[in-house]
Amino acid sequence: MTNAPVIFAELPAASGKIGHATLSVEATLNSLTLEMVDLLQARLDHWRNDDSMAAIVIDGAGEKAFCAGGDVQALHASAVKTPGGPCEYAEAFFAREYRMNYTLHTYPKPIICWGHGIVMGGGLGVMAGCTHRVVTEKTRIAMPEVTIALFPDVGGTWFLNHMPGSTGRFLALTGASINAADAIYCGIADRFISHEHKARVMEQLLAQAWSTRTAENHALVRGVLRPFAGQSAEACPAGQVEPHLSVINSLCDGDSIHAVIDNIIGVQTQDAWLSRASESLAHGSALAALWIDRQLVDNRHHSLKEVFQSEIQLVTNIVRHPEFAEGVRALLIDKDRNPQWQYNTSRDVPAEVLDGFFTAPWPTNPLADL
């Protein structure tokens, strides 16, 4: 089944087995579809109940991307099909994607994610939920949802709120690109390993005498990855987030979200990374900037389960609103990069409009049973 969008293998080890799942749609940078989400969920459920399955590896086909996110064009098609009303495909996709990501976060067995190349949106949701997250010299991570009027979802609310200082807020508002060193500093990756070592890492994983005890298997994974990380240390790129942390904290220190947005958009700098971040927010949706920030603030002390339940509520309201469809149209459909946002600035957004995105659109939350 080499044409399957996710390729699965069960690899015999010295004792026990390793499950291997490869996202395999190179033409779309391995972007997730509903079919791929369902395939992953079914296989994760099966492997969890297989006592011979000791650990799992998730990677992406090709050299360009682990996963560039969800298939946003399919989500756009669903949103414009029933403007203002329920979007059958989009809402099913998000509900099942979030459930699959929650499965990853709470999975008892070791899951190694090889996050090589582009890791964005839904791809970051997958990687963040794994227990042993490897990044490489080519890893490029971003959460640019403000540019299409979405928000950093699939657990973004959780891991952004756990980043150092105001980093999570800054990355969510600006969609700034980060690398492997940044991912480790921010807590969304665990080890840097040069991509050239991938085959040897797999060989070592298969050489292990796996246990029936989960804690011992996690230790075995760490024992395999640690020396390769040590050998790779000098190849790790210089980070952007840690050197900029004091500036990030200063820019995000405002008396209101409007002041924070003003600070970031108005920053005067010759620093290329900060400048790109500022421009991204300036050209993004002012409405989206508000719901991004409120989602983080409202859920800063919530459990993982509560975070996913709140995210499905927000995203359902977003895909039913025309701002999302317009953002995707401008960036990915017509590619004119000239979205006609509904509000020029964050201060123009009526309070009741923003409140509407945080009101349940259905009697029962689709993730109420997590």
Angstrom distance (rounded) from CA 195 to CA 192: 9
Distance CA 291, CA 146 (A): 10
Candidates 19, 60, 115, 122; catalytic one: 122
Structure tokens at 50: 């297989």
Residue 145 designated active-site: yes
CA distance 127 to 144: 17
Q: What predicted TM-score, i.e. pTM, was given to this entire model?
A: 0.97
**Residue-range domain boundaries for the chain:** 6-356
- Confidence (pLDDT) at 158: 97
Which candidate in 153, 182, 293, 323 is catalytic? 153
Whole-number pLDDT of residue 84: 84
Looking at the DSSP bridge assignments, the partners of residue 119 are: 67, 141
Sign of the alpha-carbon torsion through 176, 185, 233, 112: negative
Find, among 45, 32, 7, 148, the residue nearest to 92 by Cα.
32
pLDDT at 83: 83
Q: What is the Cα–Cα distance from 97 to 312, expressed in whole angstroms?
A: 10
Closest CA to 100 of 56, 40, 20, 58: 40
Predicted local distance difference test score (pLDDT) of residue 182: 98
CATH topology for 6-356 is 2-enoyl-CoA Hydratase; Chain A, domain 1 (3.90.226)
Q: Which of these, 268, 270, 332, 341, lies nearest to 31 by C-alpha position?
A: 332
155 an active-site residue? no
Instruction: Compute CA distances 295 → 15, 94, 146, 147, whole Å.
Output: 45, 17, 13, 17
Q: Is 271 a catalytic residue?
A: no
Check 145, 190, 293, 311 and give the catalytic one.
145
Tens of pLDDT along the chain (370 residues) come to 468 999 999 999 999 999 999 999 999 999 999 999 999 999 999 999 999 999 999 999 999 999 999 999 899 999 999 888 899 999 999 999 999 999 999 999 999 999 999 999 999 999 999 999 999 999 999 999 999 999 999 999 999 999 999 999 999 999 999 999 999 999 999 999 999 999 999 999 999 999 999 999 999 999 999 999 999 999 999 999 999 999 999 999 999 999 999 999 999 999 999 999 999 999 999 999 999 999 999 999 999 999 999 999 999 999 999 999 999 999 999 999 999 999 999 999 999 999 999 999 999 999 999 9
**Burial class of residue 312, CB neighbours in 10 A (0-12, 13-18, 19+):** buried
Q: How far apart are CA 238 and CA 70, in angstroms?
A: 29
Alpha-carbon gap, residue 161 to 204, rounded angstroms: 35
Give Cβ neighbours of residue 291 (< 8 Å, ≥ 6 apart). Answer: 151, 314, 318, 354, 357, 358
For residue 134, count CB atoms less than 10 angstroms from its CB and return exposed for 0-12, middle for 13-18, buried for 19 or more. buried
Residues 6+ apart with CB under 8 A from 155: 101, 102, 105, 125, 128, 129, 304, 307, 308, 311
| Placement of tokens 């201060």 in the chain | 347
Q: Is 122 a catalytic residue?
A: yes
Query: Scanning the structure block, which residue is given the tokens 């971040």?
Result: 277
* Catalytic member of 70, 129, 239, 284: 70
Question: Are the C-beta atoms of 20 and 44 separated by less than 8 Å?
Answer: no
